[in-house]
Amino acid sequence: NAGVMQNPRHLVRRRGQEARLRCSPMKGHSHVYWYRQLPEEGLKFMVYLQKENIIDESGMPKERFSAEFPKEGPSILRIQQVVRGDSAAYFCASSPPANSGSYVQYFGPGTRLTVT
C-alpha cells in the first residue's frame, strides 16, 4: 500500500526557470494539500485541492504559483520564474474523503527545491 509519492525529491533550478512538483496521493484519497517549509521553520499551508477543484488557496502567493489536481494523473504545483526565496521543501499531503471521518493528512517525502 504505497504512501504519498512526490517527485522529484530534489530539484535545482536557476532563477527565472519554471519548477514543476508532482504529487500522487495515497490510494483511495481524494484530497490533496501542498505545504511549504522554509529552512528552520514549520510547514505553511499553501493550497487544498480535490479532483479538478481548488478548494482553498489562501496560502498560495498571488503570483507565479499555481496548483492543479486533474481528473487523471498527479497533482502539480507549478512555480514560474523562480527566485532564490522559493528555495524550500515542498510537501504534499493527502487525506481520505471527508465522509470517512478521518481527518489525518499523510505526507509525502517532500521535494527540496534549490534555486541558484
Partner 1 sequence: AQKVTQAQTEISVVEKEDVTLDCVYETRDTTYYLFWYKQPPSGELVFLIRRNSFDEQNEISGRYSWNFQKSTSSFNFTITASQVVDSAVYFCALSGGDSGGYQKVTFGTGTKLQVIP
Regarding 41 and contact with partner 1 (CB under 8 A), the answer is yes
CB closer to partner 1 out of 42 and 85: 42
Interface with partner 1 includes 18 (CB under 8 A)?
no
> Residue 25 or residue 108: which is nearer to partner 1 going by CB?
108
Q: Binding of partner 1 at residue 89 (CB under 8 A)? A: yes
CB atoms under 10 Å from CB of 29, counted, come to 18
Q: Please work out the total of residues on this chain that contact partner 1, with binding judged by CB under 8 A.
A: 27
Q: Which of 48, 65, 69, 90 binds partner 1 (CB under 8 A)?
A: 48
Q: Is 106 one of the binding residues for partner 1 (CB under 8 A)? A: yes
Vertex 61: Cα angle to 55 and 67 (nearest 5): 45
In the complex, minimum distance from the CB of residue 113 to partner 1, in angstroms, rounded to a whole number: 13
* Burial of residue 58 (number of CB atoms within 10 Å: 0-12, 13-18, 19+): exposed
Which listed range, 18-26, 51-59, 60-68, 69-77, lies at the site for partner 1 (CB under 8 A)?
A: 51-59
Residue-by-residue DSSP string for 61-109: -SSSEEEE--SSS-EEEEE-S--GGG-EEEEEEEE--GGG-----EE--
CB of 92 to partner 1, least distance (A): 10
Cell 514543476, located at residue: 20
